[in-house]
A and B are shown apart, each in its own frame.
Chain A
Amino acid sequence: MGWWLPPAASTFAGPIDMLFLVILIITGIALVLVEVGLVVFIVKYRARPGRKAFYTHGSTRAEIIWTAIPAVTMVALGLVSNHYWVKMKDKDSVPADAYRVGVMGKQFEWQMTYSGTDGKLGTDDDFTVRNQLHITVNQPVAVELTAEDVIHSFFVPEFRVKQDAVPGMHIIAWFQATKTGEYEIGCAELCGMGHYKMRARVFVHTPEEFTAWMAQQAAGGAE
C-alpha cells in the first residue's frame, strides 16, 4: 500500500502535491521541535532532591519571536496557496475550450450527460450514461455539477479534484487529465445509506478512443 497521496494524473496534482510537501516540511520542523523539546525537558528537568525550579514569569522577547515567525510563515503560505486556489476554483479560470460534461449526483448513482454531435449541452442530442465519465487526455474538462436530491460530492483522488454537488446549484469543476486509463469517482459527502456505493469510473481516452466511444454511443449505446 502507498503511504502517500495517490499517483498523480492531472495538472492540478503538481501544485497541490508540492504545497502538501512544503506544509509537511514546515509542520514537520515544528513538530520535531516541540516533541523532541518535550522529551528533552522531561528528562533534563525532572524533579531531583535539592533542585529548585527557575523562577521566571516569561520573556517578552521570546513571545515576540515565536509569534512573529509563525505569523510570517502563515501569511506566506496563504499567499502561495491562494494563487493556486484561484486558478483551480475561480469561475473565470475555467478554460474557454474546456470540454463540458454534465454530472448529476443522485441517490445513489452519478449520471453523466454528454453533448452529442452538436457539441452543446442542453440540446436534444444530449445523452446520459450512468456512472461513466469519458474524457480525452490532455484536454481541459469542465464538469457541470448538479444534484437531484441531497448534497453529493464529486471526488477523483488521482486528479486531486473534489467539488460538492448541491441541489439547487449549478457548479463548474474543471481539471485536465494527464494520463490515459481508468480512475474511480467516489462520493465525498454523506448522502444516505448508499453513500459508500456511489462509485463511478472516469475513462481517460486518447482522442481517437474518445471519438470511437462517442460514435458507439450515437449508434445506440453499449452492445
Chain B
Amino acid sequence: MTSVAHAKPDAHGGGGHHAAMSFWQKYIFSTDHKIIGIQFLFVSLFFLLLGGLLAMQIRWQVGFPGKPMPGGGILPESMVSGGVILPEYYIQLVTMHGTFMVFFAIMPLLVGVYANFLIPLKLGAHDMAFPRINMWSFWLALLAGLIMLAGFFVPEGTSRAGWTMYAPLSARPDLSGATVGQMLWCVSIVVLGLSSVMGSVNYITTIINHRAPGMTWFRMPLSVWALFVTAILAVLALPVLQGAAIMLLFDQTIGTHFFDPVAGGQALLWQHLFWFFGHPEVYILILPAMGMVSDIISNGSRKPIFGYHSMVFAIVGIAFLGWIVWGHHMFMSGMNPTLGSTFMVSTLLIAVPSAIKVFNWMGTMWRGNLRLHVPMLNAIAFVSMFTIGGLSGIFMAATPVDIPIHDTYFIVAHLHYVLFGGSLFALFAAIPFWYPKMFGRMMDERLGKIHFWLTFVTYNLVFFPMHMIGMGGQMRRLYDPTIYDFLKPQQPLNEFITISAFALFAVQLIFAFNFLWSLKKGKVAPQNPWEDNGLEWSLPNPAPHGNWAPHTPNVYRGPYEFSAPESGDADFLPQTKKLPTDRDPVPAIPPAGH
C-alpha cells in the first residue's frame, strides 16, 4: 500500500486548477508537464518521420546515382530534373536530415518528452517548478521546427552546408547558393535554443527543489540523474550555439566577417564554437537514453542496477569530460597539431566511463531473472549497438587513424550506431514502457516484438557495411561516389545499403501503426503493468492532472529494489511502499511560494 504524506492542501494543490478547464487549456495550451511531454512526443515523432523520408532520398541517390527517383516527379524543378535529384538538392537533403534528426527528433524525444513527463512523476512532485515556462518551451520548439521546415519552400531552398554548417560556406550565400533558407536555419536554432534553456531551467530546479520526502539524491532513478546532468549540459551548451548562429546570421546579412577571412574573420572560429556546443550536444543525445535504459534493464532483469553509484559517477564523468573533447571533430581542420594530441587524450579517456556503464548493464543482467518484454529487448539492443558505436569511436580518437577515416562513411557509421543504435533503440524501449502511464493503454506486445527484430536486423544491414565503405575511402556528403575510380568497386555495397534502408524505413510503419492504433484500441493498462518500483506507478493510468496532489508521496528506499528479500513473493519493492520496518521520512520543507 502506498503511504502518502498528508501535506496541507495548498492553493496549488490538484495542479492548481479546481475550476473545470476548457479543451484548449487542458490539451493545447496546457501547463501540465505530462501533456507537454505528450505534445513533444507527437511533434517529434512527426519530425522523426520527416528525417527518415529525407534519408530515403539520400540513400536513393547514393545507391543509384543519376537515376530518376520514384515519385521524384512531384518535386519542383529546383530540386530534381526529370526525377533525378540535383546536386544542390542533395546537399540540402543531407543538411536537413542531420538538422531535423538531431534538433527536432532525437533531442526533443529524449529530453522534451521524457524530462517533462518523468521528472515530476519520478520525484513525487505535482508538476515542474515553472509550469508556464515549461509550456512556452514546447511552443518555442514547435515554432523553431516550423521555421526550419519553411526552408523547403523559399527560393533556393534550405541551407546546404551540412548540419555542422561550416563557414565560410555557410556564411556566404554567393558561395553556397542558399539565401533565405540559410537565414532560417540560424533563426530556427536561436529559437530552439531558447526552448531548450527554458526546459532545462525547469528540470534542474524541479530536481533540486521538488523531491518528495525521502527522495534523497542517491535514491533518484538513473533516468532522473541522467536528465539532470543533461539539463546542465543543455543550459551551458545551447547558448554557445545560439551565439554562433547569430554571428553567422550577421555574416550573411549585415556585412560582418566573423567567419570569413575575406575581411579578417577566421573560418576555424565557427568550428570551435560549433563543436564546443556540439560535443556536449551528443552527450545530451545519449545520456537520457542511458538513464532510461538503466531503469528498464533493472526492471527487466528483476535485479538492482549493478553499481548504482558508479553509474551516477559515470554519468557525471561523461558530462564533465564531454566539455574538453570538442577538438576531436577538428583533427584535420588545420588547428595546431599539439591540440590534436591533447584532445586525443581526453577523447580516449571518455571511453572509460562509457565502458563502465556497459559493464554495469551487463552486471545487472547477470544472474537476473530476465523478462524479455519489448522495452527490455530494445534496451538490451541499446547496450549491444551502443557498444559498437562507442568502440568505433576509438578508431577516430587515435589521431593517426583519423587521418584516413575522417569525413568518410566510417564516421557516418559511428554516429548512426550511437544515435540510432543507441538513442533510437532506447526510445523504442522507453515509448512502450511509459505508454501506459501516458495513455492508459498498452502498446501491442506482439507487434512490438516483430518491429524489434525486423528493425534490429535491417538496421545492422544498413549501418554496419558503412564502416567498410568508409575504410575504402568514400567521403561524406558525396552526391555520386562513382565519379571516383577507387570507389566504383564498392558501389554494389552502396546499393545493398540503400535497399536495406528502404526495408528499415518500411518496418518503422509497424511501430507507427502500433503507436497510433493502441491509443484507442490497445489493451487497457493495469496500474503497474511492468511491476516496476518507480513512483509513477503508484498513480492510476493515465496519470491524473496534478499527480498526487494535494498529497505528496513518501519515499522509503532506492529505485531498484527488485528481488530484495523484503519483497517477499513479489520480486519488486516500490519506492513508496512502506514496510513495517520503515520509518516515515522527515517531511521536506516546501519550496518558497508553494
**Direct contact, A vs B (beta carbon within 8 Å):** yes
Considering only residues 22-47 of chain A, those with a C-beta below 8 Å from chain B are 23-24, 26-27, 30-31, 34-35, 37-38, 41-42, 45-47
**Residues of A contacting B262 in the complex (Cβ-Cβ under 8 angstroms):** 167
Q: Are B475 and A187 touching (Cβ within 8 A)?
A: yes
A190 B166 Cβ-Cβ under 8 A = yes
| A62–B348 CB distance below 8 A | no
Given A5-B472, A15-B400, A53-B563, output 17 extra A-B contacts at Cβ < 8 Å: A3-B468, A6-B473, A6-B486, A38-B362, A38-B365, A38-B380, A45-B301, A47-B302, A56-B304, A62-B363, A78-B348, A81-B399, A89-B340, A90-B337, A157-B472, A186-B484, A188-B408
Per-residue contact bits, chain A 46-79, to B (CB 8 Å; 1 contact, 0 not): 1110011111111100110011001100110110
Asked if B304 and A195 make an inter-chain contact with CB atoms under 8 angstroms apart, the answer reads no
* A34 near B475: Cβ-Cβ < 8 Å: no
Closest to A7 in B: B486
- Any A CB within 8 A of the CB of B176: yes
Name A148-193 residues within 8 Å CB distance of B.
Answer: 149-151, 153, 155, 157-158, 160-164, 166-169, 171, 183-184, 186-193
| 17 pairs, A vs B, C-beta closer than 8 Å | A23-B395, A34-B384, A38-B362, A46-B372, A47-B372, A58-B360, A74-B351, A85-B344, A89-B337, A91-B337, A150-B168, A155-B473, A167-B260, A168-B265, A169-B334, A183-B486, A196-B483
Q: Across the interface, do B480 and A53 meet the contact criterion of CB distance under 8 Å?
A: no
CB distance from B98 to the nearest CB of A (A): 11
| Chain A contact residue count (CB 8 A cutoff) | 88
Closest to A81 in B: B398
B266 contacts partner chain A, Cβ-Cβ < 8 Å: yes
* B345: Cβ under 8 A from any A Cβ: yes
Q: Specify which chain A residues have a CB less than 8 angstroms from the CB of B169 in the assembled complex.
A: 150-151, 190-192
* Residues of A near any B CB (own CB < 8 A): 1-6, 12, 15-16, 19-20, 23-24, 26-27, 30-31, 34-35, 37-38, 41-42, 45-48, 51-59, 62-63, 66-67, 70-71, 74-75, 77-78, 81-82, 84-86, 88-91, 107, 149-151, 153, 155, 157-158, 160-164, 166-169, 171, 183-184, 186-197, 199
* Selected contact of B486 from candidates A15, A162, A184, CB within 8 Å: A184
Cβ-defined contact, B492 with A45, below 8 A: no
> What is the total of A-B residue contacts with beta carbons within 8 Å?
296
B484 touches A184 (CB 8 A): yes
Q: Of A5, A54, A90, which contacts B471 at CB under 8 A?
A: A5
Instruction: Report the Cα distance A190→B160, complex, angstroms.
Output: 9
Give Cα distance in the complex from A153 to B260, angstroms.
17
Contact of B302 (CB < 8 Å), options: A16, A53, A66: A53
CA distance A90 to B337 in the complex (A): 6
Q: Known contacts being A58-B360, A193-B91, is A162 close to B332, with CB within 8 Å? A: yes
Whether a CB of chain A sits under 8 angstroms from the CB of B476 is yes
Residues of B in contact, count (CB < 8 Å): 103
Bound complex: CA of A132 vs CA of B158, how far in Å?
A: 34
Question: Which residues of chain B are near A90, meaning CB under 8 Å?
Answer: 337-338
Cα-based distance from A30 to B389 in the complex (angstroms): 12
Minimum-distance CB pairs A-B, first 9: A168-B261, A157-B473, A58-B307, A54-B367, A74-B348, A1-B489, A27-B391, A89-B337, A150-B169
Q: Which one of B87, B358, B403, B489 contacts A16 once the chains associate, using CB atoms below 8 Å?
A: B403
